[in-house]
Amino acid sequence: MALVTAVGNDTTAGTEVTGGSYTRENLSVAAAVNGAVTNSADLTFTGMPACTVVGWEIWDSADTPVRWSYGPFDASKTVADGDELKVVAGGWSFSAS
Protein backbone atom coordinates (compact mmCIF):
# COMPACT_ATOMS: atom_id res chain seq x y z
CA MET A 1 0.00 0.00 0.00
CA ALA A 2 1.19 3.47 -0.86
CA LEU A 3 -0.07 6.62 0.85
CA VAL A 4 -0.91 9.71 -1.20
CA THR A 5 -1.29 13.41 -0.52
CA ALA A 6 -3.42 13.85 -3.66
CA VAL A 7 -5.66 11.10 -5.05
CA GLY A 8 -5.11 10.15 -8.69
CA ASN A 9 -7.63 9.00 -11.24
CA ASP A 10 -8.07 6.09 -13.63
CA THR A 11 -5.13 7.20 -15.82
CA THR A 12 -2.81 9.06 -13.44
CA ALA A 13 -1.33 7.93 -10.14
CA GLY A 14 -1.76 10.12 -7.09
CA THR A 15 1.00 12.09 -5.41
CA GLU A 16 2.78 9.60 -3.18
CA VAL A 17 4.16 10.65 0.19
CA THR A 18 7.92 11.25 0.09
CA GLY A 19 10.48 12.04 2.74
CA GLY A 20 11.18 10.98 6.27
CA SER A 21 11.48 7.20 6.57
CA TYR A 22 8.21 6.62 4.66
CA THR A 23 8.10 3.41 2.61
CA ARG A 24 5.24 1.46 1.10
CA GLU A 25 3.87 -1.35 3.25
CA ASN A 26 2.98 -4.88 2.11
CA LEU A 27 -0.76 -5.43 2.27
CA SER A 28 -2.26 -8.71 3.43
CA VAL A 29 -5.99 -9.10 2.97
CA ALA A 30 -8.58 -11.31 4.58
CA ALA A 31 -10.87 -13.49 2.49
CA ALA A 32 -13.49 -11.47 0.63
CA VAL A 33 -16.86 -11.07 2.33
CA ASN A 34 -19.72 -9.95 0.06
CA GLY A 35 -17.13 -8.86 -2.52
CA ALA A 36 -15.11 -6.69 -0.10
CA VAL A 37 -11.63 -7.28 1.30
CA THR A 38 -10.00 -5.73 4.37
CA ASN A 39 -6.42 -5.60 5.60
CA SER A 40 -5.77 -8.61 7.80
CA ALA A 41 -2.82 -7.06 9.65
CA ASP A 42 -1.89 -3.60 10.88
CA LEU A 43 -0.15 -1.38 8.32
CA THR A 44 2.34 0.82 10.17
CA PHE A 45 4.06 3.66 8.35
CA THR A 46 6.85 5.01 10.60
CA GLY A 47 8.98 8.13 10.37
CA MET A 48 6.42 10.00 8.29
CA PRO A 49 7.27 13.43 6.87
CA ALA A 50 5.00 16.34 7.78
CA CYS A 51 2.05 16.02 5.36
CA THR A 52 -1.66 15.39 5.00
CA VAL A 53 -2.49 11.88 3.78
CA VAL A 54 -5.74 11.77 1.82
CA GLY A 55 -5.75 8.35 0.16
CA TRP A 56 -4.14 5.07 -0.78
CA GLU A 57 -2.93 3.12 -3.80
CA ILE A 58 -2.30 -0.59 -4.21
CA TRP A 59 0.62 -1.55 -6.44
CA ASP A 60 2.04 -4.95 -7.33
CA SER A 61 5.72 -5.65 -6.73
CA ALA A 62 6.72 -6.47 -10.31
CA ASP A 63 9.91 -5.03 -11.85
CA THR A 64 7.62 -2.57 -13.63
CA PRO A 65 4.93 -1.98 -10.96
CA VAL A 66 1.27 -1.79 -11.93
CA ARG A 67 -1.26 0.14 -9.88
CA TRP A 68 -4.18 -2.17 -9.16
CA SER A 69 -6.44 0.14 -7.22
CA TYR A 70 -6.66 3.54 -5.55
CA GLY A 71 -9.01 5.71 -3.54
CA PRO A 72 -9.48 8.25 -0.78
CA PHE A 73 -9.55 7.48 2.93
CA ASP A 74 -12.84 8.31 4.66
CA ALA A 75 -11.01 11.17 6.42
CA SER A 76 -7.63 12.73 5.73
CA LYS A 77 -4.91 12.52 8.37
CA THR A 78 -2.36 15.25 9.03
CA VAL A 79 0.90 13.94 10.46
CA ALA A 80 3.92 15.78 11.87
CA ASP A 81 7.52 15.02 10.95
CA GLY A 82 8.51 11.69 12.54
CA ASP A 83 4.95 10.59 13.32
CA GLU A 84 3.62 7.07 12.79
CA LEU A 85 0.49 6.46 10.75
CA LYS A 86 -1.24 3.15 11.41
CA VAL A 87 -4.10 1.49 9.56
CA VAL A 88 -5.29 -1.12 12.06
CA ALA A 89 -6.26 -4.58 10.89
CA GLY A 90 -9.71 -4.34 9.34
CA GLY A 91 -9.40 -0.54 9.11
CA TRP A 92 -9.10 -0.42 5.31
CA SER A 93 -11.60 -2.04 3.00
CA PHE A 94 -12.12 -2.22 -0.73
CA SER A 95 -14.81 -3.67 -2.91
CA ALA A 96 -14.75 -3.84 -6.68
CA SER A 97 -17.76 -2.41 -8.44
Residues 57-71 have pLDDT tens digits of 999 988 898 999 999
Model confidence over 14-69: pLDDT tens digits?
Answer: 999 999 999 999 999 988 888 899 999 999 999 999 999 999 999 998 889 899 99
d(CA 65, CA 34): 28
Determine the pLDDT at residue 30: 85
Return the DSSP state at 12.
Answer: S
What gap in Å lies between CA 26 and CA 54, rounded to an integer?
A: 19
CB 49 within 8 A of CB 84: no
